[in-house]
Chain A
Amino acid sequence: SNTLRPYLTAVRSTLTAALCLDNFSSEIAERHNTPEVESGKSKEVLMNPLTISRNENEKVLIEPSVNSVRVSIKVKQADDLERILCHKFARFLMMRAESFVILRRKPVEGYDISFLITNTHTEQMYKHKLVDFIVHFMEEVDKEISEMKLSVNTRARTVAESYLAQVKIFLIISSELHKFH
């Protein structure tokens, strides 16, 4: 609808601002280097988490810190079937998180899917492309779930028709046999 474009623009600009990442060694443990947003031990390197919401069912949480950003997305799920499809789709992606590189294996509480982007990722990949990817992902996941819902319904209808056709034949045959008794 007409809030989609400003929603994605807001996510894009906030992500661009949050993705200014730098290498930062852990202050807690010597010679360690952890994503500070995941560790949460040093409070002064964490920045204010920002939520961008389109409505109550769709929102994005961006938690920035000095060397990492956690982006969590809540996807629109209108009914039970979409809930199941979204859950399965997210699970499929999250099990393959290693090849995804920036995906987190578990979503943050209250959201469907989470990304963890660290300074090593911004050093290896273009920042504007990372932002493009996440915004594109948000657009595509809605389309994917609608497509999957359509195909599930089509398959269910085909299965039901062929099953019921067989039942119909069985009933006709048994009623014919009854006539001979």
Chain B
Amino acid sequence: MSDNWRTIDIDQYDEDAYTEDEILAEFESGISPQEADSTAQTRSTDVRNFLTKFFIYIYIYRGDLNNALLRALEDPPYGRQLAQAKQTSTQTLLEVLNLFRADDITNIISTLSIDQKDLLMKYLYAGLAKPELYNSGVVLTWHEKLVDAAGTGCIVRVMSDKRTIF
């Protein structure tokens, strides 16, 4: 007398069961990996242009650093197959963050909208997850200032949002 029927996972045959794939598919942005990669690359080039202008006119064009940050926070690559685009985007953004002076951080954060602050927090955690690639000290400073401005609610939204950057 076999008891194999006891080991069957009955939930897989339940049509109404809400699987992880379904949950994540809801939050797909619908972009293909190639499209997302090229968007990320374009964004990265735009940001680099802002940054080179910043380096040349370093004392006058401080506004370009702010523009670079705002441009880096556009079009986040949400989706399950977009790992490369996510990495490129994180790298672009963290390059920009490294260039801010410690005193300017609070000012630029206060100009961001709630959505931008949430997105920035997601990128910060993506950066902290890879200490071998990114400078954790800078990311931790930004994290502290962002929590002062946006509160722990920002962190809760990062934890519960299935549209992830990391």
Q: Do A and B bind each other?
A: yes
Interface residues, chain A, with chain B CB atoms under 8 Å away: 2-3, 6-7, 9-10, 13-14, 16-18, 20, 28, 43-44, 47-48, 50-56, 59, 64
B141 contacts across to A, CB distance below 8 A: 6
Q: Is the CB of B131 within 8 A of A43?
A: no
Where chain A touches its partner, the secondary structure class is mixed
| B31 interface hit (Cβ, 8 Å) | no
Q: Classify the secondary structure of B's interface with A.
A: helix
Distance (whole angstroms) from the CB of A20 to the closest CB of chain B: 7
From known contacts A50-B159, A64-B159, infer whether A10 and B131 are also in contact, taking CB-CB under 8 Å.
Answer: no
Flag the segment in B54-62, B78-86, B112-120, B150-158 that touches A: B150-158
The complex places the Cα of A59 from the Cα of B136 at a distance, in Å, of 10
A48 near B23 with CB under 8 A, answer no
The residue of chain A having its C-beta at the shortest distance from the C-beta of B125 within the complex is A50
Query: Measured between C-beta atoms, what is the minimum distance from B24 to chain A in Å?
Result: 9
| B19 CB within 8 Å of chain A | yes
Contact for B137 among A2, A9, A20, A28, CB less than 8 A: A2
Give 15 new A-B contacts, CB below 8 A, not counting A44-B20, A64-B159.
A9-B143, A13-B147, A13-B152, A13-B155, A17-B153, A18-B155, A43-B20, A47-B159, A48-B164, A50-B158, A51-B125, A51-B128, A51-B129, A53-B129, A55-B136
Q: Does B140 contact A (CB under 8 A)?
A: yes
Q: How far is the CA of A129 from the CA of B12 in the complex (A)?
A: 42
Residue B161 interfacial (CB < 8 Å): yes
**Taking A10-B140, A44-B18 as contacts, is the C-beta distance between A56 and B132 under 8 angstroms?**
yes
How far is B162's CA from A20's CA once the two chains are assembled, in angstroms?
18
* A7, B141: Cα distance in complex, Å: 9
Inter-chain contact B155/A3, CB cutoff 8 Å? no
CA distance A148 to B161 in the complex (A): 43
B127 to chain A, nearest CB (A): 9
**Chain B hits for A13, CB < 8 A:** 143, 147, 152, 155
Q: Knowing A2-B137, A14-B155, A43-B20 touch, does A53 contact B131 (C-beta < 8 A)?
A: yes
CB<8 Å pairs between A and B, sample of 17: A3-B136, A3-B140, A6-B141, A13-B143, A17-B159, A43-B23, A47-B159, A48-B159, A48-B160, A48-B161, A48-B162, A48-B166, A50-B158, A53-B129, A53-B131, A54-B131, A55-B131
